[in-house]
Structure 1
Amino acid sequence: QMRNRDSALRSRERKKTYVKDLEMKSRFLEFECRRLQQALALCCAENHALRVRAFSLEASTARQESAVLRT
């Protein structure tokens, strides 16, 4: 009976350690998820700004080419 009690105690300790490890991994992954969401938002904003700039440059180039062709 003593061995059974010791085995049960070790089993409960292993379970506590396992649960604490899972909780720690969960907190890390939640933090990493927030960090990646922020990085994605930044990239999306930068991508949008670059697309607007590219569109502006294309329009400017088209106007300049049109002016050159008219002369």
Structure 2
Amino acid sequence: MANPPSPPLYRNPWAKADAWRKHPVFQQRSMFSKMFPGFGIAVVAFTTYVVAENMLFKSEGGHH
């Protein structure tokens, strides 16, 4: 059996300069999760506050 011909190798002269782009820190998911640190905790805390306020302190009508 003959080996299939391998595709020609193209060397990128800028490979080392562009290596940082493939680092896991700069991947899409990581960028979005680190864009707003503490945002998830803040959303949970705010939601808990709003639900507790609405359940515990029901408005008693339309007084000013």
Q: TM (normalized to structure 2)?
A: 0.50
Q: Which structure shows the bigger proportion of residues in helix conformation?
A: 1
**1:43 and 2:55 aligned:** no
Identity rate of aligned residues, in percent? 16
Q: How does 1:21-60 map to 2 (within 5 A)?
A: 21-22=26-27, 23-29=30-36, 31-51=38-58, 54=60
Give 1:67's aligned residue. Answer: none
After superposition, the CA RMSD in angstroms is 2.9
Structure of higher CA gyration radius? 1
The gaps in structure 1 that reach 5 residues or longer are 58-71
Secondary structure of 2:57's counterpart equals helix
- CA displacement at 1:5 relative to structure 2: 5.0
Which amino acid in 1 is paired with 2:50?
A: C
Count of residues paired in the alignment: 50
Per chain length, whose mean CA-contact separation is higher, i.e. which structure has more relative contact order (CA < 8 Å, sep 6+)? 2
> For residues 56 and 44 of structure 2, what CA distance do their matches in structure 1 show?
18
Match of 1:68 in 2: none
